[in-house]
Chain A
Amino acid sequence: GQNIDQPTEMTATEGAIVQINCTYQTSGFNGLFWYQQHAGEAPTFLSYNVLDGLEEKGRFSSFLSRSKGYSYLLLKELQMKDSASYLCAVRGGGNKLVFGAGTILRVKS
């Protein structure tokens, strides 16, 4: 079966660091994606990991451990505009993307 788990909601303070976790169980693995989705808008691509380790892109970093079926998205120097839903998606066997339900991040001042 295919299963992607991420926390439903998180709250963090402006300027802080927040880590959004994602665990997955899929048939096959061909990469993991993170998307950001503001309310009423399109999901937008943030990052792609296929090898173990940390990928850094400005204030956002994404980590992958394939042996543990685990990834996290790290957001530094949080800004109010980072309030959004963050979607974890795994490309499994057959190359289909399987999405988690998303984590709603609320950034407070």
Chain B
Amino acid sequence: ETGVTQTPRHLVMGMTNKKSLKCEQHLGHNAMYWYKQSAKKPLELMFVYNFKEQTENNSVPSRFSPECPNSSHLFLHLHTLQPEDSALYLCASSQELAGGSDTQYFGPGTRLTVL
């Protein structure tokens, strides 16, 4: 149990659908992250939020739209996705956006398949 939960765990959607991924952390952290993990590729950082403010958008297409209503919750809204967007989407949190040993803790991910 890492203290970071994600729902749904699996999602299949068509290219015209709109869906949302949810992440919740129970660790009292202030920074939250979305990553994309494709087979045999490194984790790709998508978005970073610190104290509810977005601090990083790593050139992510606008069909992915993040939302962070408070420090414990993070959403990723999806619309008009492409088949190449199929991947494991991981949420992570850390105490704060800082250097040093600030460790990120990950949720189990949402396995997304776009048909």
Chain B associates with chain A? yes
- B-contacting residues of A (Cβ < 8 Å)? 4, 8, 30-31, 33, 35, 40-45, 48, 50, 87, 89, 91, 95-102
Contacts of A30 in B (CB 8 A): 99-100
Indicate if B101 sits at the interface (CB-CB under 8 A).
Answer: yes
Q: Are B103 and A48 in contact (CB under 8 A)?
A: yes
Residues of A within 8 A of B45 (CB): 96-97
Main secondary structure of the interface of B (DSSP, over half): loop
* Residues of B bordering A, CB below 8 Å: 2, 4, 40-43, 45, 56, 90, 97-109, 111
In chain A, what residue has the closest Cβ to B94? A97
* A42–B6 CA distance with the chains assembled, in angstroms: 10
Contact check, A4 vs B42: say whether CB atoms are below 8 A apart: yes
Option from B43, B105, B107, B111 in Cβ contact (under 8 Å) with A45: B105
Q: What's the minimum C-beta distance from A43 to chain B, rounded to whole angstroms?
A: 5
Q: In the assembly, what is the distance between CA of A101 and CA of B43, in Å?
A: 7
A99 adjacent to B103 (CB under 8 Å): no
Interface core residue of B43, B97, B104 (most chain A CB under 10 Å): B43
Q: Which of B2, B42, B56 has the most CB of A within 10 A?
A: B42
- A40 to chain B minimum Cβ distance, whole angstroms, is 8
CA distance A45 to B41 in the complex (A): 19
The residue in chain B whose Cβ has the minimal distance to the Cβ of A4 is: B42
Contact, CB under 8 Å: A96 / B56: yes
Q: Looking across the interface, which residue of chain A has its beta carbon closest to that of B35?
A: A99
B99 to A101, Cβ gap below 8 A? Answer: no
Residues in A neighbouring B40, C-beta threshold 8 A: 8, 101
- CB-CB under 8 A from A102, the residues of chain B are 42
Q: A8-B40, A87-B43 are in contact. Are A97 and B104 (CB under 8 A)?
A: yes
Q: When the two chains form the complex, which single residue of B99, B101, B107 contacts A42, counting CB atoms closer than 8 Å?
A: B107
Q: List 24 A-B contacts (CB under 8 A).
A: A30-B99, A30-B100, A31-B101, A40-B108, A41-B108, A42-B2, A42-B4, A42-B90, A42-B106, A42-B107, A43-B90, A43-B106, A44-B2, A44-B106, A45-B104, A48-B103, A50-B101, A89-B43, A95-B98, A97-B45, A97-B104, A99-B43, A100-B42, A102-B42
